[in-house]
A and B are shown apart, each in its own frame.
Chain A
Amino acid sequence: MASYRIAGNTGEWEVVCGLEIHAQIISKSKLFSAAATEFGGEPNSQVSPVDAGMPGMLPVINRFCVEQAIKTGLGLRAQINRHSVFERKNYFYADLPQGYQISQYLEPLVGEGTVYLDMPDGEVIPVGIERLHMEQDAGKSLHDQEPGKTYIDLNRSGVALMEIVSKPDIRSPEQAGAYIQKLRSILRYLGTCDGNMAEGSLRCDINVSVRKPGAGLGTRCEVKNVNSVRFVMHAIEAEATRQIELIEEGGEVIQETRLYDPRKGETRSMRGKEEAHDYRYFPDPDLLPLIVENDWVERIKADMPELPDEKKQRFIQDYGLGAYDAGVLVAERETADFYEDVANGRDAKTAANWVTGEFFGAMNKAGVDLDEAPVNAAMLGELLDLMADNTISGRIAKDVFEEMWETGKKAGAIVEEKGLKQITDTGELEAILDKVIAENPEQVQQVKDGNQKVMGWFVGQAMKATGGKANPKMVNELLRKKLG
């Protein structure tokens, strides 16, 4: 694939990005307290004294959260560190009652790994993972409830997060989008994060720098608060373009934190608010180092589901699918399962075409998820069976599918009810063809003069006369006999 370049006045520029993703761990209770993690509860109803930063309260780590983070590390093909340390990241903010966030700094739980991006042209691009560490989430501030006031809800305070940091291996907005989607897919397969960007369970900060192709790394800026794949892609382009213009005008990029404004489509500096940031990390005296025994990791490993990369490989090998179709089908575990149910005992490629074509098309058009679709795997399978045994033609099958989607009826019932069975009776077809031939002497002459295209026209007329129910293969054969 051609490399992504931005044209400046002094030539082409390359974009270099690294992503930091905060992924909320799926668990019932918080990382260091026994309060619930559910989204959307009454304000401050899911808060323990630990989460509220009450004096004297001690954090006790949630074993399941650690397990989820290890599982994610394994899913990223990453090093699991047997010894890691929780540290305090100190800063003041109204939604951080402790005055510090418990995080991991020098010794994270998970080290280097790799994520493979599936690009639309079938290319696979590896992106390095630098680290994954566990930390607490902060509370939520609402600034628009009352003039001059900020409302604080601590329900999210203390919920377990994984911060997943990539290496600066990403070279285009498209790759950044593919990276988030792939990571999201892996997290959802593992059941360690629901990946919901709208609810904030997956949040993204982007490090962006530019350079002339082949040159050393430029100075980077961190763009915060980007909460959809589309915005991430926009933000990278906007920030890279800003840096290029700045450099070409003789300026210099200053390492800083910037905020993406989706309405204006630009990033702006957060300087000033940032200058006081000096986190003064130190090991949390309330917590001992986290020791992960080998057999624990082995048990987690034994319990891992088949992940998207392996599933994709299997779909390519076992079902003979192309890399792109396989990638689309495995992106969501539910979709992959649905496909396998449809393909089971049937022609795998036809099944893939129908699932990615008609079925996804209908889903997108209706704006529904798989579990809300009025046609299930068994119903789609029945339709494919009717095609396979020549009960209906492919053309009619599409009409039947539409009817199924609208009414929720089964394919067999619709075919029966509307009399859509394919005409395979030679006598009946011959009678129809004879009529078409008799009515169109001019075209018959053209065929006899050697115009083969008109043969196709006759097939079309026969299909029209039967409402698409004629078996096209038989029509072709009979016509050739009669006109050839």
Chain B
Amino acid sequence: MAVDKDTVAKIAKLARIRVEPEQQEALTQELSNILRWVEHLGELDTDGVEPMTSVVEMNLKMREDEVADGRRQNDIVANAPESKHGFFVVPRVVE
């Protein structure tokens, strides 16, 4: 499968990555190459093979319902470019 320039622009927009028009051609080539390479996997017959979810045989680890984190408002907002009264402050997100 090959991607076109429009797909590259769309992916970039969804990922919030700025891609200049002159970069699009190169990225289109690069992404198409990656996809073609991954498509080799399609040559294998995987009928009746369970999808592998982990390289080790183990179940999802669970924790008990206990409160053991939080109460560190200052740490949480410490890296925010702007914060007030314990809130993160961001440019207005218009509804």
On whether the beta carbons of A45 and B71 are closer than 8 Å, the reply is yes
Cβ of A165 to closest chain B Cβ, rounded Å: 23
Give the chain A neighbours of B10 by CB distance below 8 A. Answer: 278
Give the chain B neighbours of A278 by CB distance below 8 A. Answer: 10, 14
A423 within 8 Å of B (CB atoms): no
- Give Cα distance in the complex from A62 to B53, angstroms: 20
B46 within 8 Å of A (CB atoms): no
Chain B residues bordering chain A, tally (CB within 8 A): 36
Within 8 A of A (CB), among B72-95: 72-73, 76-77, 84-95
- Give Cα distance in the complex from A150 to B77, angstroms: 15
Sorting the interface of chain A by its residue count into under 10, 10 to 19, 20 to 34 or 35 or more gives: 35 or more
B54 within 8 Å of A (CB atoms): yes
Main secondary structure of the interface of A (DSSP, over half): loop
- Most-contacted residue by chain A among B68, B70, B71 (CB, 10 A): B70
Cβ of B41 to closest chain A Cβ, rounded Å: 16
On whether the beta carbons of A288 and B54 are closer than 8 Å, the reply is yes
Task: Decide yes or no: A287 and B86 within 8 Å by CB, A47-B70, A64-B65 being known contacts.
Answer: no
A82 within 8 Å of B (CB atoms): no
- Give Cα distance in the complex from A153 to B69, angstroms: 16
- Most-contacted residue by chain A among B63, B66, B76 (CB, 10 A): B76
A417 within 8 Å of B (CB atoms): no
On whether the beta carbons of A44 and B76 are closer than 8 Å, the reply is yes
Give the chain A neighbours of B18 by CB distance below 8 A. Answer: none
Give the chain A neighbours of B71 by CB distance below 8 A. Answer: 45-46
B23 within 8 Å of A (CB atoms): no
B60 within 8 Å of A (CB atoms): yes
Task: Decide yes or no: A290 and B60 within 8 Å by CB, A151-B84, A151-B87, A152-B87 being known contacts.
Answer: yes
Question: B66 is contacted by which of A34, A146, A148, A153 (Cβ under 8 Å)?
Answer: A34
Give the chain B neighbours of A290 by CB distance below 8 A. Answer: 60
Cβ of A96 to closest chain B Cβ, rounded Å: 11
On whether the beta carbons of B63 and A44 are closer than 8 Å, the reply is no
Output the nearest chain A residue to B84 by Cβ-Cβ distance. A151
